[in-house]
Amino acid sequence: MEQQSPFPIGPQASPETFTNKVWFNLLVPDEDHSFDTHVYNVNFEPAARTYWHWHPGGQILLVTSGIGFYQEKGKPARKLLPGDVVTIPPRAVHWHGAAPDSSFAHIGIGTQEHLGPIAWLEPVTDAEYGEATAQ
C-alpha cells in the first residue's frame, strides 16, 4: 500500500479481526501507562474493514485520507472524508473501514486504556457492508 498521510503505514494487521487487507502502525504504545492512551495509524485497502468491536474506554478517529465508513450497531453508517473526526463512546459496538472503491486511512486514539482492551465480535458480513456503504 502506498503511504496516504505523513504517518508511516507499518505492517499488515492480523487477519483475525479485519476483513480484507489492513495495515496497523502503533505510534504511541504507552508501555509504561504514562498517558492511559494508545495512538495508531490504520490503513485499509478498498472494501477492507474491522470486525464489529467495542472499546471499554472509547476511541477517537481522525480521518487522514481516502473515503471510509463508520457504523454503530443499529444506526445508519456515516460516510467519512479527510478531516472528519469520529468520537466512539465507551462500549458502543461499531465497525470502521474503507469504501468499496477507495482506500482509507485514519489515526486512531484509544482512550482510557486502563478500562481494558478491545472486545472483538463477529465479522461485518458482505450484506451488512453492502447495505451500509450503498450511499
Residue 43 lies near its own copies (rule: CB under 8 A): no
SS3 (DSSP) at 76? coil
Burial class (CB in 10 A: 0-12, 13-18, 19+), 41: buried
Stretch that binds its own copies, among 43-51, 59-67, 93-101, 125-133 (CB under 8 A): 59-67
Residue 112 lies near its own copies (rule: CB under 8 A): yes
Which alpha helices (DSSP H) does the chain contain, by range?
Answer: 126-133
Neighbours of 113 (CB within 10 A): 18
Residue 65 lies near its own copies (rule: CB under 8 A): yes
Positive/negative CA dihedral, 50, 51, 57, 58 = positive
Residue from 62, 93, 118, 121 touching its own copies (CB under 8 A): that is 62
Residue 24 lies near its own copies (rule: CB under 8 A): no
According to DSSP, the residues that pair with 82 across neighbouring strands are none
Residue 121 lies near its own copies (rule: CB under 8 A): no
Residue 75 lies near its own copies (rule: CB under 8 A): no
Measured CA to CA, the distance from residue 74 to residue 76 in angstroms comes to 7
Residue from 21, 46, 56, 60 touching its own copies (CB under 8 A): that is 60
Instruction: List residues near its own copies by CB under 8 A.
Output: 5-8, 27-28, 30, 34-37, 39, 57-58, 60, 62-65, 82-83, 85, 87, 89-90, 107, 109, 111-112
